[in-house]
Structure 1
Amino acid sequence: MKKALNSPASIDELMQRAESMAGLTLGQLANYHEIEMPKDLKRHKGWVGQLIELELGALAGSKPEQDFVHLGVELKTIPVSRTGKVLETTYVTVAPLTDIQGLTWQNSVVCHKLQQVLWIPVQGDRDIPLAHRQIGSPILWRPSAEESYLLQQDWEEIMEFISMGQVNKVTARHGEVLQLRPKAANSQVLTDSIGKDGQLTQTNPRGFYLKTQFTQRILSQLL
């Protein structure tokens, strides 16, 4: 495997790298980095994102900070169909289920990560072999006042359920643009959370995800 590229020194350099990657296939990029391609993504869900991170020189990995923290930019790959339709919700971060006293939207990881996002669309149609899927043109996005308001509103509503020990009442239908969903390999994985009486109880880990209607709107506005 080739050594990862140095992290870009500026947003301009980051965008140049992202733009020069547009039009390449995942197979071409994997060959360049001497990385073995999985047959499919069933057991390698994060593989595409990791490949793009390597090419762009992202630093954070799975840390709860932006991928290019020195530039204030989060990187998100997003699978789209041939017609530009967003195919999946977008994972943002693990949801805190304990020690949330004093936590506000402004100091939350969700708010921090979504301050500025570099979206990299990638073909995700299942009938296109993984190696032949093309990388699209990059989009650098900052939430508008309205988008920030919607995100904050959903986050606060979901966090209120968590703080009241009602995390199990939150479904993927909650929230207009942001949703809470189980985030674990299987339902056997458990973590601490606030119970109804304020005591700790056990539940499945949860993650915050952006709904597809929201990311579709972002891509449609900026493409």
Structure 2
Amino acid sequence: MPISPQSEQELLARAYAIAGLPLAQLAADAGIPVPRDLRRDKGWIGQLIEWQLGASAGSKPEQDFPDLGIELKTIPVDPQGKPLETTFVCVAPLIGISGLRWEESNVRNKLSRVLWIPVEGSREIPIGERRVGMPLLWSPSEEEDNLLRQDWEELMDMIVLGEVEQISARHGQVMQLRPKAANSKALTRAIGRNGQPIQTLPRGFYLKIDFTHQLLLRHFALPV
């Protein structure tokens, strides 16, 4: 595996070096087979790009490049550059969260500096032939940070008040909370309506498509 990049410039240079290349070529470099479809290998593209760029965090609750303070997010896009799905940020804490502030939250930590790597995601393109797009190194503007903070605070208030089961994907302007589990048996502890402990599906924070689409539009001058 490539060693971790020592600077932001080195990371960006690696990201530019793979832009335009098909995933099959990157997989051959890494010595791993290309899956036939992504239903069982949902994280395969992200892991492949992580390997290429030398990310070190894996699934730990820190940025993918902790020494640089940068999180890596691959994002599947259609031919017009619109994201095809919401973007997972991190798992949401469901207990022991009273007093937690936005400034110390894992969401803010993960989104403080993000290297976005768009990847062709149209289903009609075989996985190996999908190409990597141009990278974008992004930090939230003050307006974006405020929107994220408002959603985070609203969703965390509902969790604290025992309303986790009432939260739907419609809550939040730019970020939503959704179940994140491999199956319905993977339960975790949370707070119920009357403050009692309950078992529920783990939840994750996801950026809504409109938010990431606007972000890409601003930086890449994509067709509207």
TM-score (norm 2): 0.97
1:85, distance to aligned residue in structure 2 (A): 1.3
Instruction: State the SS of the aligned residue for 2:65.
Output: coil
Match of 2:161 among 159, 164, 172: 164
Distance 1:55 1:168 in 2: 39
Instruction: State the SS of the aligned residue for 1:19.
Output: helix
Match of 2:142 among 145, 159, 162: 145
Q: Which amino acid aligns with 1:77?
A: T
Instruction: State the SS of the aligned residue for 1:106.
Output: helix
Q: Which amino acid aligns with 2:121?
A: G
1:67, distance to aligned residue in structure 2 (A): 0.4
2:11 maps to 1:5: no
Distance 2:131 2:206 in 1: 24
Q: Which runs of 5+ in 2 are unaligned?
A: none
Instruction: State the SS of the aligned residue for 1:162.
Output: helix
Distance 2:56 2:185 in 1: 31
1:199, distance to aligned residue in structure 2 (A): 2.0
> What does 1:70-85 correspond to in 2, within 5 Å?
70-85=67-82
CA deviation string 1:5-50 (max 9, x = no partner): 0000000000000000000000010011111111010000000000
Distance 1:31 1:69 in 2: 27
Distance 1:96 1:70 in 2: 24
Q: Which amino acid aligns with 2:95?
A: T
The aligned counterpart of 2:109 is 112
The aligned counterpart of 1:88 is 85
Match of 1:124 among 109, 121, 124: 121
1:123, distance to aligned residue in structure 2 (A): 0.3
Q: Which amino acid aligns with 1:13?
A: E
1:187, distance to aligned residue in structure 2 (A): 2.0
Structure 1 stretches of 4+ with a deviation exceeding 3 A read none
Q: Which amino acid aligns with 2:68?
A: L
Q: CA RMSD in A?
A: 0.6
The aligned counterpart of 1:45 is 42
Q: Which runs of 5+ in 1 are unaligned?
A: none
Aligned length: 220
Match of 1:214 among 180, 200, 211: 211
2:178 maps to 1:178: no
2:186 maps to 1:197: no
Distance 2:110 2:91 in 1: 12
CA deviation string 1:123-162 (max 9, x = no partner): 0000000000000000000100000000000000000000
Distance 1:215 1:96 in 2: 23
> What does 1:92-103 correspond to in 2, within 5 Å?
92-103=89-100
Distance 1:88 1:122 in 2: 12
